[in-house]
Amino acid sequence: MGALTVDHAAGNGPEWDDLVRIWEHTDAPEGCTVEIIEGIVTVAPPPDGMHTDIAEELHGCLRAAIPKERGLGVYQNLGLALPSRHGLYIPDLVVAPKALVRTEPKGSIPAAATELVVEITSKSNAIHDRLNKPAGYVRSGVPLYLLIDRFAQGGPTIFLYGEPKRDVYRTLSAVKFGEPVHLPEPFDLTVETETFLPD
């Protein structure tokens, strides 16, 4: 399989604390997602129904596959802090330690603390999910990144990236919607994706 390559350091710009303060005080319409991407506060509109349903389906699969004794939870709307990339991302799904999430007063945890991050593309944010966010995730040491790209050039495709080394993810698999995708340990889970296809 190929590799997902990323480039450039965080660069110059406002100090991290100033960015977080701006993010905290951004007044966006209900349902919109406010993130810091490459030092810029961005607002994305609410996702459509298909996007939301894919997230719900995958959430259930992951929740069922994780043994309780692992102490991991599956979260939507959890912020991931990536200060070295001037980023605060809110992925569609995150698998992270419950104890850490429960003790975080500001609603975000270090990206490095996650086991899996999932992004589902929307037309308005696909470029971030394909390029900017994986650059932050790999640099932060996120072990597995699952990109559900509904608008991929060759048709809807699911990409699983892992084995981060330096600033590169290895492509562990790439499958079309409707084909199964296998998530390695700590999940050892095969996700059937027929339900990701529109009716």
What pLDDT digit, counting tens, does each position of 118-161 carry? 999 998 889 999 999 999 999 999 999 999 999 999 999 999 99
- pTM of the predicted model, to two decimals? 0.87
- pLDDT for res 137: 94
Q: Which of 115, 153, 151, 118 is closest to 134 using CA atoms?
A: 118
